[in-house]
A and B are shown apart, each in its own frame.
Chain A
Amino acid sequence: MRLRNRPGLWFGAPALAVAATAPLFLFTNSYNRGLLVLIVIYAMAGLSLDYIMGEMGQFSFGHAAFWGFGAYVSAKLALDLGVSPWIGFLAAPVAAGLVGLLIGYIALRRTRGLELAIVTLGFGVLAWTVALRWRPVTGGPAGLRQVPPPSLLGWEIRSELAYYYFALLLLLGVVFILTRLRESRFGRAVRSIHENEDLASSIGVPATRSYVFAFSFACALVGFSGALYAHHFRFVNPNLLGLQYMFIFLIVVLLGGTGTVWGPVLGAAIFVLVSEWLRALQEYRFLIFGVVLLMVVLFMPNGVFPALRRVARRVTGSGRSGGEEAARGAYPGSGGSEAG
């Protein structure tokens, strides 16, 4: 049966159909279409964070800092040097990836698991402080405005609708790359370190080096997502690097389900739509959101997507597809085992 060989297709195909047609119903005004853009951007950021969480089994509290950094890089290039946003879309992931390489090298040599979470939190907070304080470059607390939209053949991708399809296409590309990357030698190396670092080293996987590159890759990806944000919403400010977005990405990943490509996409959609619906509740909004979140964690600790998948399996009658299920299930705790 084809569904079994292509895990995720049962979700991916309908999801894609919904995503492609969403602007035709429900999301017909530009405000609502702006939400769609946000979903796509958060989904991409969530996927990159999930590369660290689901594939590496690690956690970075500094991930939003790379998102904001990518946004600033691209915005800055466009505003100060008049560089085309297209170059910015390339420069942002490259810059974020390089910084990620450096920080990954510093942090991953000696820390893993919760210690790594704390260390990256430190870097993230520092980046946020710099963005806030280094006024001449970052514009201080107000940030930078009037970031230009990208244009294609003289036509500005400015409307929510156009930008949505543009971003959606890129998101699909990212999903494709992530899926294929898993089967690559590098992807397997990362996975094997996640599963058991000692064993992976003993059979020749350079654990720290692979993790540093994986970390850098995730940073590049989130930097890209940040650049997409900057050129659509057309501003950047220090909040983009802060804990608020960090929490959002974390929620997107854990809500959707970690270790799956569709989880963060679903998580982003749920997050954006639910917090939008809760907007009517005004100041109670985030209070309720916190309660909802706690409920979700309590009752679906692996996220919504795996729960959905179980239901789908029951409906289509396909049994557990052994390894895939096991491999993509809840990630184990991250405290690396010591040699000994």
Chain B
Amino acid sequence: MALLETKGLTKLFGGLSAVDRLHLRVEQGDIMGLIGPNGSGKTTALNLITGFLKPTEGSVTYEGQDVTGLEPHELARKGLVRTFQITTLFENLTVRDNILHGSHLANPTTLMGALVRSGRYRRQRADMEARARELLALVGLEQRIDSVARDLSAGEHRYLEIAIALAANPRMVLLDEPATGLNPEEAAYLMDLIRTLSREGVTILLVEHNMRLITNICTRITVLNFGAKIAEGTPGEIVDDEAVVTAYLGRRRGA
């Protein structure tokens, strides 16, 4: 059984079908790449899967359950977490608070505990703090724990975003162009990070323009054009696919 599956997923904006009868299957443990030219509907597909948009037609199944039309926070509760194409953080908070605020689902404290600062509450807070440090160490931001998020560099922004997503203890993460704005070293670091997540058992759907990144780390790739799937396969198969080359790679090379 696939972890995530969409059937006939369609989104119309006025007359335009941004996503057109998309069938997508992501198996547990996959790093699935989702690529396509600008405006081909990748972000819209992500929004449909994560509940930020309601599909015009079609369904989304996650862990064998129909989750079509659920709210984003309900999906997050089920372990389905996404990041955004435009860097999205709690900009005015420190790196630490970004993680602590992001740990809503993993936060065991109670209102009463916080009011009276019970011993249990303090232990739970210390645990959360430790976990925040662990996550920041994982993404390489432990030195920046007291910085305000908006002061971070572009690369650090992206790592922090991923750390926030991880703070929700996801089973599957959907990343929308995480390498945008990164220099080659930062992108390489990001690649390692994604591989690490995958090894830890997180299933990944990766939207990306950076072909090197995609072909390097993805186990499977789906290609969109005008909202519809035009190809699917292993990186090797995709690079050789005629339709893909014309629709996407060809144009890229020519550009």
Direct contact of A and B (CB under 8 A): yes
Give me the interface of A with B, judged by CB distance under 8 Å: 177, 180-181, 183-189, 191-192, 195-196, 198-207, 322-323, 326-327, 329, 332, 339-340
Which chain A residue shows the least CB distance to B168?
A203
- Residue with the greatest number of chain A CB neighbours at <10 A, chosen from B100, B104, B165: B104
B104 to A326, Cβ gap below 8 A? no
Distance in angstroms from B149 CB to nearest chain A CB is: 9
Q: Which of B89-132 contact A (CB under 8 A)?
A: 89-94, 96-97, 100-102, 104-105, 107, 109-111, 113-115, 117, 125
In the complex, whether B45 has a CB less than 8 A from a CB of chain A is no
A339 to B53, Cβ gap below 8 A? yes
B94 to A204, Cβ gap below 8 A? no
In the complex, whether B154 has a CB less than 8 A from a CB of chain A is no
A198 to B93, Cβ gap below 8 A? no
A327 to B92: give the CA distance in the assembly, Å.
Answer: 6
Give how many A-B residue pairs fall within 8 Å (CB-CB): 121
Given A203-B76, A203-B104, A204-B76: A180 and B115 within 8 A (CB)?
yes
Chain B interface residue count, Cβ-Cβ cutoff 8 angstroms: 45
B93 to A323, Cβ gap below 8 A? yes
Given A202-B82, A205-B73: A192 and B115 within 8 A (CB)?
no
Which chain A residue shows the least CB distance to B72?
A201
A196 to B111, Cβ gap below 8 A? no
B114 to A199, Cβ gap below 8 A? no
- Residue with the greatest number of chain B CB neighbours at <10 A, chosen from A185, A191, A195, A329: A185
Give me the interface of B with A, judged by CB distance under 8 Å: 43, 47, 50, 52-53, 71-74, 76-77, 81-84, 88-94, 96-97, 100-102, 104-105, 107, 109-111, 113-115, 117, 125, 146-148, 164-165, 167-168
Which chain B residue shows the least CB distance to A325?
B148
Give chain A's interface secondary structure class.
helix
A198 to B107, Cβ gap below 8 A? no
B73 to A206, Cβ gap below 8 A? yes
Given A181-B115, A198-B88, A202-B81: A326 and B93 within 8 A (CB)?
yes
A329 to B148: give the CA distance in the assembly, Å.
Answer: 13
Residues of B within 8 A of A185 (CB): 104, 107, 109-111, 114
A322 to B94, Cβ gap below 8 A? yes
A184 to B114, Cβ gap below 8 A? yes
Apart from the given pairs A185-B109, A199-B102, A202-B83, 8 other A-B contacts in the complex at a CB distance below 8 Å: A181-B114, A189-B101, A192-B101, A195-B101, A199-B164, A200-B104, A326-B92, A327-B92
Of the residues B50, B73, B101, contact of A191 by C-beta under 8 Å: B101
A5 to B10: give the CA distance in the assembly, Å.
Answer: 52
